[in-house]
Structure 1
């Protein structure tokens, strides 16, 4: 027969962000107990007092900390180089039948120049380009017949080289973005590949962003 502590652990463990908040003491345990009371009673098939659920939650928190932290901390501490690029411009264009052709044309005109920062992400309805400021005018000329949705200047980026295990670690990107949000940093764009993760922020926030990412292994 399933017990109250077992049911409580199953409910909390199925919601990683709830588990983390419980471990860090950010949740009112009494309120949480009242919220999950019906779920607990349905599972054990009998009435359950709030006090019993509170006791189970309080006993569960230390065990959750052991389960949650090691895997995530290992991935975070194995993050590789942090690469910073400044003087960037962010363009967003509405998708069209000719947009990819313009993108190809621009890449050919740039050539194999590794000094430039250039990324393009195609969404369902629009595409985004983040490029070095040196390419600002060239982008405007090449995409002159496309519909410009928005443009932002005075941007910088921070790129993390990620360990190969990042995609298997639940909450990895949440951990990064949570630390950035808590530092009061506004993210302009997020660019991600399998083993790279880039945040584009305002120039004024780049030092703080770098500091947060560099020290997050100690969080």
Structure 2
């Protein structure tokens, strides 16, 4: 069930003027609560006390200012690279895992054009690779050990400044923005200065546009 806070945030986020006024501390929160109250009630299908909206706005103010501070880590909009036609396999870990990693790396190394991410967890390992290599990787991993498989995927890799590692909320900035736009994230992966988001092919264009707009 959608809450008052979520509804208020949605309304403010979709009005650049409201968000900018909150950021600059030039808005009367009581007046804004009165102004957006009809829209809040319309979306929630019930009467809402002005005080509840006012409290939601004050909580939202802190979130907006924190988000702005996070954005300031980026002196310029970050480079974003899109790769499409990917496939993901997840397998259970086994004694043969190291050899399988070597075999996968050998296949990818034959042609530098191929995309590859390998993430090894405690009990599972996920491999994301170019769709062209799907059949070969499936044979290497052994079908009996594959517990999930997703195809028709794309990746957006965001280049990050080094200070991101000591800045809270940077990954959340990207993921929450996609969440608010109703864009599903299949998987994420990161290195020191790269953050990669895996999505379905049919979501990647909209996701790229949404992420670019964060920095406009």
Which of 180, 194, 197 is the equivalent residue of 1:196?
A: 194
Q: 1:189 to 1:69 in 2, by over 3 A?
A: closer
> Structure 1 stretch 89-98 or stretch 108-117: which is displaced more?
108-117
Flag structure 2 segments of 5+ consecutive residues without an equivalent.
1-12, 14-21, 24-28, 34-48
Which of 93, 100, 107 is the equivalent residue of 1:95?
A: 93
**1:69 Cα deviation from its structure 2 partner:** 5.1
Looking at structure 2, the residues matched to 106 and 69 of structure 1 have their Cα atoms a distance apart, in angstroms, of 39
5 Å-filtered alignment, 1:98-177, equals 98-111=96-109, 113-144=111-142, 147-177=145-175
**Aligned pairs, number:** 176
Bigger-Rg structure (1/2) = 1
Q: 1:112 to 1:80 in 2, by over 3 A?
A: farther
Looking at structure 2, the residues matched to 155 and 212 of structure 1 have their Cα atoms a distance apart, in angstroms, of 18
**1:173 Cα deviation from its structure 2 partner:** 1.2
- For 1:173-219, what per-residue CA distance to the aligned partner results, in whole angstroms no more than 9, with x for missing partners? 1111110101110001101111000001001101011101111113x
Q: 2:67·2:173 contact (CA, 8 Å) conserved in 1? A: no
Q: 1:158·1:199 contact (CA, 8 Å) conserved in 2? A: yes
- For 1:32-52, what per-residue CA distance to the aligned partner results, in whole angstroms no more than 9, with x for missing partners? 99xxxxxxxxxxxxxxxxxxx
Looking at structure 2, the residues matched to 157 and 65 of structure 1 have their Cα atoms a distance apart, in angstroms, of 28
Q: 2:158·2:194 contact (CA, 8 Å) conserved in 1? A: yes
Looking at structure 2, the residues matched to 82 and 95 of structure 1 have their Cα atoms a distance apart, in angstroms, of 32
**1:101 Cα deviation from its structure 2 partner:** 1.1
CA RMSD of aligned residues (A): 3.3
Looking at structure 1, the residues matched to 64 and 91 of structure 2 have their Cα atoms a distance apart, in angstroms, of 46
Q: 2:108·2:116 contact (CA, 8 Å) conserved in 1? A: no
Q: 2:78·2:160 contact (CA, 8 Å) conserved in 1? A: yes
Instruction: Provide the TM-score with structure 2 as the length reference.
Output: 0.69
Looking at structure 1, the residues matched to 50 and 166 of structure 2 have their Cα atoms a distance apart, in angstroms, of 30
Looking at structure 2, the residues matched to 66 and 208 of structure 1 have their Cα atoms a distance apart, in angstroms, of 23
Q: 1:136 to 1:165 in 2, by over 3 A?
A: same
Task: Find the residue that maps to 1:187 and give its secondary structure.
Answer: coil
Flag structure 1 segments of 5+ consecutive residues without an equivalent.
1-20, 34-53
